[in-house]
Amino acid sequence: MSVEARAVDVRFEGSVLDHLSGGRAAWNVVTSTEDSEAQNFGLEKQRERGNRYALADEFLKVVFGLWDTWEDDALVLNRETNVVIDPSKVHPLNHEGEHFRVRGPLNLPRPPQGYPVIAQAGSSDQGRDFAARWTELIFTPQPVLKGAQAFYQDIKSRAERVGRNPDEVKVMPGALIIVGESEGIAREKEDLLRSLIGLKSPQALLSSMLERDLSQVPSNALAKEVLASREVQGMQGHVDALAQIAEAENLTIAQLAERFSHSLTFARFAGSPKQVADQIEAWFRAEACDGFIIRPSYLPGSMEEFVCLVVPELQKRGLFREEYEGRTLRDHLGLKRPERGSWVERAPMAHSEPLRKVSA
């Protein structure tokens, strides 16, 4: 299946999901990192990062352009006049770019949310540029408060630089939650979960993320020295997060590998409901996030515990809604329904050609 066909498919599926769900769809845009993934798409090796994001940038232009081929009131559905669609309000896209040539139009009205919510998780320099330009929900590995504040500020200012309202870009670090009715119960859970890991070689796990064979590195070597400004072709965001943990907690390679094995690179909030809510509130008030992607520490059970023990505490503090604030996912995220073509005015990413105007 050609890359064009995939762009059309994604657009179709995203739109269908948004129509079927009454506006609850989101799309996690991933550029993928592994050769094994690229080999599913007719490639031998994964593209290098810059190319991945250049392709993704044009891919998004095609997908947004196709979602915009119908004006919001193109669907008439008038039983008296038997007019279903106003053809003057459905337009071809005629996109011709470096990677894609797509005529359009779509065979579906514009999605209820205008566009499904766009999520993304790349945190490298190019990943941040791409996020600032296209994304409304950024899932990011930020294990340390100071690093999370810096990432938050950076993303918001990049969004402003491309002409967006920074409130329209929600930064949501992943957070691993271990909560118990009391601190003691939470600690017991923590110890039990750790005891269940039993990784033969935590270093092996770390090696794959760092794209470096750590078997030759003494396990008591200081991790921050081993990771200093490590550039990888894979997930730079995770590697930067590991360097932050290594620096903040002064860990050896063995200790960092063990930390990675039970919490990956995410923030970790453990304790009683009040203690977990305190940590969440502290990050929120410190402008380190707009919210969190809650990672289950075990399944089933940990998500229910979060909802039953921590959410009521956050509601008491006015930090979480008591009632639904609307019908669509955008309503819940505090995002407005974007105008048709509102993305076109955004300043181009450093390496990409200017956006094409939406045909009237």
Ligand X SMILES: Cc1cc2nc3c(=O)[nH]c(=O)nc-3n(C[C@H](O)[C@H](O)[C@H](O)COP(=O)(O)O)c2cc1C
Cβ 321 to ligand X, closest distance in Å? 25
Cβ 266 to ligand X, closest distance in Å? 8
Cβ 300 to ligand X, closest distance in Å? 21
Q: Which is nearer to ligand X, 69 or 236 (CB)?
A: 236
Cβ 126 to ligand X, closest distance in Å? 6
SS3 155: helix
Which residue is closest to ligand X by CB? Answer: 127
Cβ 81 to ligand X, closest distance in Å? 46
Q: Which is nearer to ligand X, 53 or 64 (CB)?
A: 53
Phi, psi of 225 (to 5 degrees): -75, -40
Residue with tokens 């072709």: 233
Cβ 309 to ligand X, closest distance in Å? 24
DSSP 16: H
Cβ 141 to ligand X, closest distance in Å? 5
The H-assigned helical ranges of 250-336 are 253-263, 273-285, 302-305, 311-316, 329-333
Amino acid occupying residue 158: R
The binding site for ligand X (CB under 6 A) comprises: 28, 30-33, 49, 121-124, 126-127, 139, 141, 174, 235-238
Q: Is the peptide bond before 300 cis (omega within 30 degrees of 0)?
A: yes
Closest CA to 168 of 138, 140, 145, 139: 138
Cβ 192 to ligand X, closest distance in Å? 25
SS3 142: coil
Q: Which is nearer to ligand X, 137 or 254 (CB)?
A: 137
Phi, psi of 164 (to 5 degrees): -105, 155
Q: Which is nearer to ligand X, 10 or 93 (CB)?
A: 10
Close Cβ partners of 265 (under 8 Å, ≥ 6 residues apart): 141, 143, 174, 237, 238, 241, 242, 245
Structure-token pair, residue 22: 């009454």
Q: Which is nearer to ligand X, 49 or 158 (CB)?
A: 49
Amino acid occupying residue 271: G
Amino acid occupying residue 92: P
Residue with tokens 């550029």: 31
Q: Which is nearer to ligand X, 127 or 271 (CB)?
A: 127
Q: Which is nearer to ligand X, 121 or 186 (CB)?
A: 121
DSSP 144: S
Q: Which is nearer to ligand X, 164 or 238 (CB)?
A: 238
Rounded to the nearest 10°, the torsion over CA 157, 158, 161, 164 is -90
